[in-house]
C-alpha cells in the first residue's frame, strides 16, 4: 500500500512537470505564430496538369466521381481531372500520364492568406524524374528542364492567382517514375523582399511529387483511359523503348520474365482463369476479362495461374495502355472438326525459367492464343521458344514473329515456330521431374515432319469487356 502511495505521488509530480512543459510549449508556439514571417500565408491550393491522358486504376474504374464505390459497379470511373484541390471533401490523385517526349504543363493556384496583397517571382527548381530500379535496371534520376521564373501578384485576404508553367526534357521513350520539382515564390512587395513565400501543403519543403507514366502513343482500345496499375507494369516492361516494334517486343519479353503468370498446364483442361465466355449467344462472343481481380491477386500474391488466353489478353491490355494497337488470335490445326492436337516445338511455359535449357519440353496443344500486331506479327508471352525461326538459340518469348512462319517454319526436315509436327501413334505423354504437368514425348522414330504441316485455322477474338466480380 505504501509503495502504491509513493507511486501515486510520483505520478502526480510527473503530471505537474508535464503541465509545466506543456505551458512552455504553448507559450513558445504563440510566440512563433505571433512573430512568424509572412511566408506562412501563401499556399498552393490547386494543381491541374493539362495535355495529359485521363487515367484510372482498378479502384477508380469502379468509383463515382466523388470516390464512392459504384453501385452496381458498371465501370468507367476516372481519376479526378483536377489532380490536387485543397478544399474539404475533394478527391485527388498523384498519378499522371503523358505521351513520351511531351511537355508537362501544369496550372497551380496560389492562395494568399495575408491581409495585404503580395507580389513576387515564382521559380521552379530541381525538376526531375526519379526512375525506380527494376530487375537489371538500376534506379536513376533524369533531370528535366525547369520552367522559367514568372512574376506573380496575389491579392490579399484569400485572393488567388493561377500560374501555368511547363516542364520540358521529359524522356522521349516509354518510362515511369516520380516526377519531383521544387518551387519558390520570392517576395518583391507585400512582404520582406526576397522572402520565400510558398507554404506548400503538398510538400513541406515546397517539393511536389507525382507518379508519371510516359506511354509510346495515346492509349488505345480498352485502355483508352489507361489503368495506372497496368501502366505500372507496362512502363516497366517497355522502359527505354519507342515505337511499336520495340515497345511491343519489350512488353512481351517483360511479361514473360516478370513471373506474374504461371501456365496452368497441370490442370486437365487448362482452363482460362481470368477470361470468361459466359454467353455464347452474345453477338460479340461475350468475352470478358477480370482485369481488376487479376491485378488484385498479382499485386497481393505474386504469380497467378492462367492459360494462353489469359496471358495474351493481359498482354493486349498492357500493349493498349502504351498505345500499341493489336488483336488476339487463336491458332488451330486445320483439317478436322474438332481440331486435332499438335506437338509444340520445345518451349518453357511462362512462370518457369526460360533461361534453363534443361526445362525446354514439347507439349501437346490443340489451340494456342497470342497477341498480334499489324495483322500478322505474333507476340506470345505464354511460352519461351528454344529456337528462333532461323533455327538459332533463342530462349525467349516470340515477339514480332510474322505469320505464317510463327505457326511453323521448315528448314530442311527441321521445324521451328510454334508447331513441331502433328501427332502420330507412337507419341506419348510422360512426367518430367521438375514440372507439375505431363509433357509430350514424340516418337523418336519420327524425328521431324518432312513437309510443313497445313494450317493453321486462325480465329480472331473480336473484342472483350472487363467484368467486375459479382460478389
Partner 1 sequence: MFISVLLLLQTTSPYDQLIIAHGFSRDQDGDWRNRQRHHTLFNGVYQVRTPDDQLSRILKSTVDRGSARAFGPHNPGIPLPTNFLLGRDIRYSPGIGTVDIQCVSSKVRVLVSLITSYQRVNGVAQPASPVDQSDYAMVEAVARWMLATKTAEAYSPSTHAVGNQSVNSRRASNVRIHLDAQRWSEICGYSINVNRQSACTMINRPQGAIIMPLGSPKVKVGNQWIDIEDVVISDGDRPMIPLQIINRL
Residues of this chain that interact with partner 1 (CB under 8 A) are 259, 262-273, 275, 277-281, 285, 287, 292-293, 296-297, 301-305, 307-309, 330, 338, 341, 349-353, 356, 359, 363-369, 423, 429, 434-438, 440, 459, 461, 468-471
Q: Which is nearer to partner 1, 70 or 121 (CB)?
A: 70
- Whose Cβ is closer to partner 1: residue 80's or residue 341's? 341
When the beta carbons of 51 and 69 are compared against partner 1, the nearer one is 69
Neighbours of 111 (CB within 10 A): 17
From the CB of 431, what's the least distance to partner 1, in Å? 12
Q: Could you tell me the smallest distance in angstroms from the CB atom of residue 243 to partner 1? A: 30
Distance in Å, CB of 261 to partner 1, minimum: 8
Nearest-approach distance from CB 304 to partner 1, in angstroms: 6
Name the residue nearer to partner 1 (CB basis): 88 or 444. 444
Q: What is the DSSP string of 264-326?
A: -TTSTT---SSEE---TTSTTTT-EE-HHHHHHHHHHHS-EEE-HHHHHHHHHHHHHHTT---
Smaller CB separation from partner 1, 58 or 108: 58
Could you tell me the smallest distance in angstroms from the CB atom of residue 382 to partner 1?
8
Using CA atoms, how far residue 34 sits from 37, 38, 112, 422, in Å, is: 9, 11, 18, 87
Tell me the longest C-alpha to C-alpha distance in the chain.
102
CA–CA dist 319, 323 (Å, integer): 6
> Cβ closer to partner 1: 158 or 436?
436
Smallest distance, partner 1 to C-beta of residue 425, A: 13
Q: Which is nearer to partner 1, 125 or 279 (CB)?
A: 279
What are the cell numbers at 247? 515497345
Smallest separation (angstroms) from partner 1 to the CB of 301: 4
Q: What is the DSSP letter of 56?
A: B
Question: Toward partner 1, which CB reaches closer, 116 or 357?
Answer: 357
What does the DSSP 8-state code read for residue 358? G
Question: Closest CB to partner 1 among 174 and 367?
Answer: 367
CB-nearer residue toward partner 1: 198 or 367: 367
- CA pair distance 110, 209, nearest whole angstrom: 17
Please tell me what DSSP assigns to residue 353.
Answer: -
For residue 56, the minimal CB distance to partner 1 (Å) is: 17
Strands (E), 354-418: 364-365, 367-373, 377-387, 393-402, 409-411, 414-416
The nearest distance, CB 281 to partner 1, in angstroms, is 7
Phi and psi, residue 293, nearest 5°: -60, -45
Minimum CB separation of residue 469 from partner 1 in Å reads 5
Contact between 364 and 439 (Cβ < 8 Å): no
- Residue closer to partner 1 by CB (options 198, 359) is 359
Whole-number minimum distance, CB 441 to partner 1, in Å?
Answer: 11
**What residues form DSSP beta bridges with 458?**
331
Identify whether 295 is preceded by a cis peptide bond (ω within 30 of 0): no
Backbone torsions φ then ψ of 260, nearest 5 degrees: -90, -25
Beta bridge partners of 122: 150, 185
Q: Is 257 helix (H, G, I), strand (E, B) or coil?
A: helix
What whole-number distance in Å separates Cα of residue 239 and Cα of residue 90? 33
Instruction: Tell me which H or E stretch contains 43.
Output: strand 42-50
Beta-ladder partners of 410: 415
Q: Which residue has the cell 516492361?
A: 237
Strands 327-332 and 414-416: unpaired
Amino acid at each position: 500500500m505504501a509503495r502504491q502511495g509513493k507511486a501515486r505521488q510520483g505520478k502526480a509530480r510527473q503530471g505537474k512537470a508535464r503541465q509545466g512543459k506543456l505551458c512552455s510549449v504553448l507559450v513558445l508556439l504563440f510566440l512563433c505564430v505571433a512573430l512568424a514571417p509572412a511566408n506562412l500565408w501563401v499556399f498552393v491550393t490547386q494543381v491541374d496538369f493539362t495535355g495529359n491522358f485521363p487515367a484510372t486504376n482498378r479502384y477508380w474504374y469502379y468509383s463515382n466521381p466523388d470516390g464512392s464505390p459504384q453501385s452496381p459497379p458498371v465501370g468507367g470511373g476516372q481519376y479526378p481531372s483536377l489532380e490536387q484541390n485543397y478544399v474539404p471533401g475533394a478527391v485527388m490523385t498523384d498519378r499522371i500520364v503523358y505521351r513520351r517526349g511531351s511537355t508537362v504543363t501544369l496550372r497551380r493556384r496560389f492562395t494568399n492568406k495575408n491581409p495585404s496583397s503580395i507580389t513576387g517571382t515564382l521559380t521552379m527548381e530541381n525538376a526531375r524524374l526519379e526512375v525506380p530500379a527494376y530487375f537489371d535496371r538500376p534506379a536513376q534520376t533524369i533531370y528535366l528542364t525547369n520552367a522559367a521564373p514568372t512574376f506573380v501578384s496575389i491579392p490579399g485576404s484569400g485572393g488567388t492567382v493561377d500560374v501555368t508553367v511547363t516542364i520540358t526534357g521529359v524522356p522521349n521513350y516509354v518510362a515511369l517514375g516520380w516526377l519531383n520539382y521544387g518551387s519558390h515564390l520570392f517576395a518583391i512587395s507585400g512582404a520582406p523582399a526576397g522572402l520565400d513565400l510558398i507554404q506548400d501543403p503538398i510538400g513541406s519543403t515546397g517539393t511536389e511529387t507525382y507518379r508519371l507514366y510516359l506511354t509510346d502513343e495515346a492509349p488505345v482500345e480498352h485502355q483508352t483511359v489507361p489503368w495506372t496499375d497496368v501502366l505500372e507494369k507496362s512502363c516497366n516492361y517497355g522502359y527505354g523503348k519507342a515505337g511499336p516494334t520495340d515497345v511491343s517486343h519489350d512488353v512481351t519479353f517483360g511479361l514473360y520474365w516478370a513471373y506474374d503468370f504461371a501456365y496452368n498446364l497441370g490442370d486437365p483442361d487448362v482452363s482460362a482463369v481470368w477470361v470468361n465466355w459466359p454467353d455464347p449467344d452474345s453477338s460479340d462472343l461475350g468475352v470478358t476479362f477480370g482485369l481488376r481481380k487479376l491485378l488484385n491477386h498479382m499485386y497481393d500474391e505474386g504469380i497467378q495461374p492462367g492459360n494462353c488466353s489469359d496471358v495474351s489478353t493481359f498482354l493486349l491490355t498492357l500493349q493498349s495502355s502504351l498505345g500499341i494497337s493489336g488483336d488476339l488470335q487463336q491458332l488451330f490445326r486445320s483439317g478436322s472438326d474438332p481440331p486435332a492436337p499438335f506437338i509444340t516445338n520445345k518451349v518453357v511455359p511462362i512462370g518457369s525459367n526460360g533461361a534453363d535449357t534443361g526445362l525446354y519440353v514439347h507439349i501437346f496443344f490443340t489451340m494456342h492464343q497470342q497477341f498480334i500486331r499489324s495483322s500478322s506479327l505474333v507476340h506470345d508471352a505464354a511460352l519461351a521458344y528454344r529456337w528462333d525461326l532461323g533455327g538459332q538459340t533463342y530462349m525467349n518469348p516470340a515477339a514480332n514473329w510474322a505469320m505464317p512462319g510463327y505457326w511453323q517454319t521448315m528448314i530442311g526436315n527441321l521445324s521451328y515456330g510454334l508447331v513441331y509436327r502433328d501427332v502420330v501413334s507412337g507419341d506419348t505423354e510422360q512426367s518430367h521431374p521438375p514440372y507439375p504437368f505431363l509433357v509430350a514425348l514424340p516418337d523418336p522414330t519420327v524425328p521431324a515432319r518432312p513437309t510443313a504441316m497445313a494450317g493453321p485455322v486462325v480465329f480472331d477474338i473480336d473484342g472483350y469487356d472487363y467484368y467486375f466480380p459479382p460478389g
